[in-house]
Amino acid sequence: MPSDAAKESTRRAWRALGFFCGRNVTAKEWRIVGSVKGLRKFAAEIRKYASNPANDRLSEYTQFGPAMNLEVGTSHQTEITEQWIGGPLVELLRLATLIERSAQDNVVGKRIALRSNFSPLAPYELILDVRDEAFDPALADPTCS
C-alpha cells in the first residue's frame, strides 16, 4: 500500500498532467479522463510528439502518467494495445485533431470511443471521459485514495 507521501506525490503529478490515463484490462480499454482543457492538453502532448521528426523511427515513444503507464509511439500502422497507442506520425497527428474535435463543452459527462476512427481493428478501445472544468484528475486514480 502506498504511503501518504507517495499518494500525495501521485496526486500532484496527475494534477500537473491535467488528465488521468488508465487501462482496464478486463474491458480492454484505455480511459483518458479529464476536463475539456485537460483532454486538449493530452491532444497537445500527442501533437508535440508527432511533430518531432526525431520520433519518426519505429518504436520511439513517450510516456504519460505518474507511473508512466501509457505510451504513445511510432509504429507502421495505427494500434491501441495493452501497452500503447501507436501509429505513423501523420496518424498520431490525426488522432490529436480527433481528440481536440471530440473534447468540447457540449459533451461534458459523456464517454467518447475513438477506436473506430483511429484504429478500427485494434484490440483495445480508446475512451475519452469528458468531465467538467472543476475535475481533479487525481480523483480518477484509485491508488490515490
Choose among 65, 69, 49: nearest CA to 57: 49
pLDDT digits (tens, 9 = 90+) for 78-126: 999 999 999 999 999 999 999 999 999 999 999 999 999 999 999 999 9
Residue 9: its H or E element: helix 4-17
Domain boundaries, the chain: 4-144
DSSP 1: -
The whole-angstrom separation of Cα 122 and Cα 109 is: 25
Q: Is 132 helix (H, G, I), strand (E, B) or coil?
A: coil
pLDDT digits (tens, 9 = 90+) for 17-42: 999 999 999 999 999 999 999 999 99
Q: What is the pLDDT, as a whole number, of residue 144?
A: 86
Decide: residue 108, CB within 10 A, 0-12 exposed, 13-18 middle, 19+ buried: middle
Decide: residue 100, CB within 10 A, 0-12 exposed, 13-18 middle, 19+ buried: middle
